[in-house]
Amino acid sequence: MKVVRDPIHGYIELDELMLSLIDSPPMQRLRRIRQLGLSNLVYPGANHTRFEHSLGVMHLATILTRQIDSVSQQEKDELRAAALLHDIGHGPLSHVTESFITQYTRQKHEDVLHLLRKGEIAEILDAHGLSSTTIQKHIKGETDLGKILSSEIDVDRMDYLVRDSHYTGVAFGLVDHVRLIHEMQFYENNLVVGSGGVKAAESLLVSRFLMHPSVYYHHVSRIAETMCIRAIEELIQKNAIKPTELRQMDDSDMLHIMRYDDGHSGDLARRLEERKLYKRALYVGFEEVTEGVLRHRGNIRRIEAEIASMAGIDPTDVLIDIPRSPEIPELKALVKLNGRMVRLDEASYVVATLEQAHWDNWKMGVYTPKEFREKVGKAAREFFEVKKTTKQFRLTEL
């Protein structure tokens, strides 16, 4: 048994199985993939990796399974292995490349069975009598035990919220995960939170709500990611990047290819490296555009060209970012109250109010180089039929 020091959880114990898996190439690749992609352009400390997050998730899963007496040691080992390996399917810059993996391979980053059945990982699992199929199901939350790792409230969320808060310096990740884990149990084959854990569950959801606009959907991060996605898209079209190879690449591999492109992708890469980002020509929420704007998500390139034409500039100088509608699966988490199961949003008024609040946080953006900001903003407002809103003044401004 060995231990490593983690800034979030303190000492993390690693047995022979975990040490062997950690030393495998797919796990070591995660050392070179930043957890928050390009968020370090906003928060300089946000350079933590998928590797340390994976260690944290494994640690929390280990603690939780110790509370369960009804499963064998092999089953616990398979869950711990799943927790450690759950992110090996991520591409460079984490979620930045996820849409390409899904589009071209028809697999999500959780689909890692092919990685579990080859190379060192397969040999290690076989040597310990562990099932790669079961581990895959755990990663996708398709088993009762796997709900610890992937469900409405799971150890994955607990670790990344606290860890991302720590490394960005944003003091919103105040999740009492120790209390929450202590209050989690299986009841009628469902992973539920005991009545004593409701406040801890509330802290997790409030933290997630506050972290979204401050970190995950910060406008500078969204601009940088949108620029990066466009560059990767063009490199794939030029066959400079093969989408099927993304899961073997790390951040440096991706940025190297982008940097040495002699076209528009290279220009975008240099802008990212020098932090000369596009600016917001339009940045609005559902109070200014209707939810019908979501239907445009499948026609982004056509709309960019149309707005560019209206503004009299090159289509490459317009980037549109329309996020998906907000999803809050945690609302459906089950709480055990007085011997019966109820949804978390039924057990907590605080949680129930967060659903609308998430919709209020939603923003779409149209981005362009600084010199085109005014005319692109005018064209974008006209195209999206942006409603005028009443400006509210503070008393000190009157």
pLDDT in tens, 221-255: 999 999 999 999 999 999 999 999 999 999 999 99
Q: Active-site residues: which are they? A: 109
Least reliable range by pLDDT among 47-51, 211-215, 220-224: 211-215
Structure tokens at 243: 């989408």
Which pLDDT does position 358 carry in this prediction?
A: 84
pLDDT digits (tens, 9 = 90+) for 255-293: 999 999 999 999 999 999 999 999 999 999 999 998 899
Q: How far apart are CA 131 and CA 85, in angstroms?
A: 13
With a cut of 90, say whether residue 350 has pLDDT above it.
no
Helix and strand numbers (H, E) in the chain are: 18, 9
Q: How far apart are CA 275 and CA 203, in angstroms?
A: 34
> In sequence order, what are the beta bridge partners of 12?
4
Give the pLDDT band (50/70/90) at residue 398.
very low
pLDDT digits (tens, 9 = 90+) for 110-162: 999 999 999 999 999 999 999 999 999 999 999 999 999 999 899 999 999 99
pLDDT digits (tens, 9 = 90+) for 294-331: 999 999 999 999 999 999 999 999 999 999 988 888 87
Structure tokens at 344: 């978390």
| Ramachandran bin of 326, using left for φ above 0, alpha for ψ from -120 to 50, beta for the remaining angles | beta
> For the packed helices 251-259 and 264-274, what is the interaxial angle rounded to 10 degrees?
120
Which pLDDT does position 330 carry in this prediction?
A: 81
pTM of the model: 0.93
With a cut of 50, say whether residue 395 has pLDDT above it.
no
Which pLDDT does position 143 carry in this prediction?
A: 95
Inter-CA distances, 270 with 29, 31, 221, 257, 274, Å: 24, 24, 16, 12, 6
Which pLDDT does position 391 carry in this prediction?
A: 56
Q: Which residue has the tokens 């991706």?
A: 254
Instruction: List, in order, residues 6 or more apart from 237 with CB less than 8 Å away.
Output: none
Q: How far apart are CA 84 and CA 51, in angstroms?
A: 9
Give the pLDDT band (50/70/90) at residue 392.
low
Q: Which residue has the tokens 């310990």?
A: 128
Q: Where are the beta strands (DSSP E) in the chain?
A: 2-6, 10-14, 184-187, 190-194, 279-284, 319-321, 334-337, 340-343, 364-368
Helix (H, G, I), strand (E, B) or coil at 133: helix
Inter-CA distances, 260 with 250, 266, 269, 304, Å: 16, 6, 9, 25
What average pLDDT does the chain have? 93
